[in-house]
Amino acid sequence: MPVFEYRVRDRSGNIIKSQYEADNISVVRDALRAKELFVIDIKPPKTGLHGDIKIPFLENRPPSLKQVAIFSRQMATLINSGVPLVQSLAIMQRQMEHPGFKKIVTGMRVDVESGMPLSDSIAKHPKVFNRLYLNLVRAGEASGTLDSILDRVSAFLEKDLALRGKIKSAMTYPIIVLIFAIGITYFLLTTIVPQFAGILTQLGAPLPLLTRALIAVSDFLKSKTWILALVGVAGFFAYREYYKTKQGRHVIDDFKLRVPVFGTLIKRSAIASFARTFGLLLSSGVNIIESLEITKGTANNIIVEDALDNARNVVMVGEMMSGSLGAASKIFPPMVVSMVSIGEETGALDNMLDKVADFYDREVDEAVDSLTAAIEPIMIVFLGAIVGLIVAGMFLPMFAIIGQLSQ
């Protein structure tokens, strides 16, 4: 649907510039006059060489979490400065660079102009604004504190981005080294080993078991690499399908939490995310049952989801949720359970959860540093062992030949 730029004058004589999405210019003019605005001019959408270049892939690409955080922060600043909600959305729409996000904000502005609450407009875009975001905005509208809620949301998203960045940085180094090791191994086995194998065959040297195994692997990779690629692709899709099942999610997510070193990092980040999300919802006025339900949906691990689901069921019958969390001891350590229990008894659960989140943010930092420090020498030894094994397999027959010649 095309977007028209317009200038109007309100009852007070103030000139307002904005945009309106409609099928044609008549619809825009009628809508503005219905609001008792005097139309100065309406500009049709730009076309031809003056129009915006639209790439379908970029148009449909959803905005990143960082862009949503920036949008929330800027909206909070505008509303807090006294700018009306419609004008705030119009300002954000004009400065939005992401094509898909700009289209979403344009639709939100049109919805709000027509009298729809912002939360209802946000609900139309679940891929951009999740259930957590929607409920917080709804709570902000109900309490009249939309600006402070958006400010909290942006702070939460920024911390969530930082947490994800720490985990990504911890995983990036070993993955790069592993890919590098696989590439070097493949090159040696398909290029260097066949040349050595030809020389050894011409010399008629006896081949030890290691050398014969390397030559067999080399011959297989040179002629049957496609089989490995096919097995890899099939394994990937089989993993995805298995993970979609309830049993598959339980098995894989439980394994993730039990993996040495990496499991500790995943568990600490899950606790930090739970405490931050749950605390934000409670402090924003969302009831505890709804807060637990929303937090469960952001856990991304079915073991954590089950623990939160049990906690929600316990709270629904009037009992303390700390007892339920204590039962899930492999997820929530005694310290977390104790702090939640104190928060429930004192009525300051949201503050306690913020402290838990801050503590586990630091724990994630330490886990990332420890993981990076431990992985670097392990990967170097791993890569050296692979190269050394191949070199030994090729030179052992040469040493045997040299020994025979010296006798």
pLDDT, average across residues 16-43 = 77
Confidence band (pLDDT; 50, 70, 90) for 242?
A: very high
Asked if 1-53 and 161-407 have one fold, the answer is no
Distance in angstroms (rounded) separating the CA atoms of residues 380 and 370: 16
- Determine what percent of the chain is predicted with pLDDT higher than 90: 4
pLDDT at site 405: 60
pLDDT at site 234: 94
In this structure, what are the phi and psi dihedrals at residue 189, rounded to the nearest 5 degrees?
Answer: -75, -30
User: For the chain, what are the domain ranges?
Assistant: 1-53, 161-407
Mean pLDDT of the residues in the chain: 82
pLDDT, average across residues 178-195 = 84
CA angle 374, 379, 381 (to 5 degrees): 105
Distance in angstroms (rounded) separating the CA atoms of residues 148 and 132: 16
Give the type of residue at 19.
Q
Confidence band (pLDDT; 50, 70, 90) for 236?
A: very high
163-177, 220-234, 269-283, 346-360: which has the minimum mean pLDDT? Answer: 163-177
pLDDT at site 52: 47
Give the fold, CATH level 3, of 1-53.
Ubiquitin-like (UB roll) (3.10.20)
Confidence band (pLDDT; 50, 70, 90) for 34?
A: confident
Q: Which one has a higher pLDDT value, 322 or 338?
A: 338
Q: Determine whether 48 is exposed, middle or buried from the number of CB atoms within 10 Å of its CB (0-12, 13-18, 19+).
A: exposed
pLDDT at site 231: 92
Q: Which two tokens stand for residue 111?
A: 């919805």
CATH no. of 161-407: 1.20.81.30
pLDDT, average across residues 317-331 = 77
Distance in angstroms (rounded) separating the CA atoms of residues 56 and 78: 31
Distance in angstroms (rounded) separating the CA atoms of residues 243 and 241: 5
The H-or-E segment that residue 38 falls in is strand 38-43
pLDDT, average across residues 61-69 = 83
pLDDT at site 45: 64
pLDDT, average across residues 31-51 = 69
Contact 114, 27 (CB under 8 A): no
User: How many CA atoms within 13 Å lie on the side-chain side of 401?
Assistant: 14
